[in-house]
Structure 1
Amino acid sequence: MDSNPVAAQKKRSSLLDCIRALAVIMVVLYHIGLQAGSGLDPVATWFLQYGLLGVDIFFPLSGYLITSYLLTHHNKRDVGVFFMRRFFRIVPLYMAALAIYALGSIVTRTNLDTLHNLWQNAVFLTGWVIFHGDRAEVPYTITWSLSVEEFSYIILGLAALILRGRIGRILIAMTVGALALRFAINLAGFPNVYFYPPARLDSVALGGAVAWALHARCKILIPLLVTTVATWGLMQFGRVPFHTLLFLLITLMACLVIYIIVVYLPSMRTPLISAVAAIGFYSYFIYLFHYFNIVVLEVIQERFGMGLSFWPQSVLVLAMTYFQAWLSYRFFEGPLIGFGRRLETKLGPRPAPTSAEAY
Structure 2
Amino acid sequence: MSSNQDLPIPVKQDPKPRAFRMDIQGLRAIAVGVVVLYHFWGHYLPGGFVGVDVFFVISGFLITSHLLAKPPKNIGDVVNFWMRRVKRLIPASFLVILASVLGIWFFAPSTVWQDWGLQAMAATFYFQNWYLALTKVDYLAEGEAPSPFQHFWSLSAEEQFYFVWPILIGLLIFAAIKSGIKPATAALAGISAVFLISFGYSLYATATEPGSAYFSTFTRVWEFSAGALVAALGTRAHAAKKDAMSLIGSWGGVLAIA
Q: Same fold (TM over 0.5)?
A: yes
SS at match of 1:116: helix
1:33 shift after superposition: 1.8
Using the TM superposition, give the Cα deviation of residue 200 of structure 1 relative to its aligned residue in structure 2, in angstroms: 0.7
CA deviations on 1:302-337 (whole Å, 9 max, x unpaired) are xxxxxxxxxxxxxxxxxxxxxxxxxxxxxxxxxxxx
What is aligned with 2:254?
none
What letter corresponds to residue 22 of structure 2 in structure 1?
S
**C-alpha distance in 1 between matches for 2:79 and 2:211:** 37
Match of 2:224 in 1: 204
Query: 225, 240, 243: which one pairs with 1:262?
Result: 240
1:183 to 184, 200, 203: 203
**Cα separation, partners in 2 of 1:162 and 1:138, compared to 1, 3 Å:** farther
Q: Name the one with the larger helix percent.
A: 1
TM-score of the superposition, structure 2-length normalised? 0.70
Which of residues 41, 46, 50 is equivalent to 2:47?
Answer: 50
Question: Residue in 2 aligned with 1:69?
Answer: 66
CA contact (8 A) 1:73 1:79 kept: no
**Helix, strand or coil for the counterpart of 2:240?**
helix
Match of 1:148 among 127, 135, 157: 157
Q: Which has the higher contact order (CA 8 A, sep 6+)?
A: 1
Moved over 6 A (4+): none
Q: Is the 8 A contact 1:27 1:51 kept in 2?
A: yes
Cα–Cα, structure 1 residues 187 and 15, in superposed 2: closer, same or farther, change >3 Å?
A: closer
Gaps of 5+ in 2: 1-17, 138-143, 174-182, 244-258
- Residue 261 of structure 1, CA deviation: 4.1
2:82 partner amino acid: F
Q: Answer whether contact 1:178 1:198 (CA < 8 A) is retained.
A: yes
What does residue 87 of structure 1 align with? 86
Distance in 2 of aligned mates of 1:81 and 1:262: 29
Alignment pair present for 1:167 and 2:187:
yes
Q: How does 1:96-175 map to 2 (within 5 A)?
A: 96-109=95-108, 111-117=112-118, 118-135=120-137, 140-164=149-173, 165=183, 166-175=186-195
Q: Helix, strand or coil: the match of 2:126?
A: coil
Write out per-residue CA displacement over residues 53-109 of structure 1, whole angstroms, 9 at most, x where no aligned residue.
111110111111100010121212543432222222222212222112212222222
Shift of 1:15: 2.1
Q: Is the 8 A contact 2:160 2:217 kept in 1?
A: yes
* Residue identity matched to 2:89: I
Residues 148 and 198, structure 1, Cα contact 8 Å, conserved in 2:
no
Secondary structure of 1:68 counterpart: helix
Please give the per-residue CA displacement for 1:262-298, whole angstroms capped at 9, x wherever unaligned: 3447xxxxxxxxxxxxxxxxxxxxxxxxxxxxxxxxx
Tell me which amino acid in the other structure corresponds to 1:46: Y
TM-score by length of 1: 0.51
Distance 1:189 1:29 in 2: 27
Shift of 1:173: 2.5
Distance of 2:39 and 2:207 partners within structure 1? 29
Q: Provide the C-alpha distance between the structure 2 equivalents of 1:61 and 1:189, rounded to a whole number of angstroms.
A: 26
Letter in 1 for 2:60: G
Change (3 A) 1:182 1:213: same
Distance 1:211 1:129 in 2: 31
For residues 336-351 of structure 1, what are the structure 2 equivalents within 5 Å?
none
Cα 1:22–1:180, aligned 2, differ >3 Å: closer, same or farther?
Answer: same
Unaligned runs of 5+ in 1: 1-9, 35-44, 216-257, 266-359
C-alpha displacement of 1:193: 1.3
One-letter amino acid of the structure 1 residue matched with residue 136 of structure 2: D
Q: How many residue pairs align between the two structures?
A: 204
Alignment of 1:6-17 (within 5 A): 12-17=20-25
Between the aligned partners of 1:208 and 1:27, the Cα distance in structure 2 is: 23
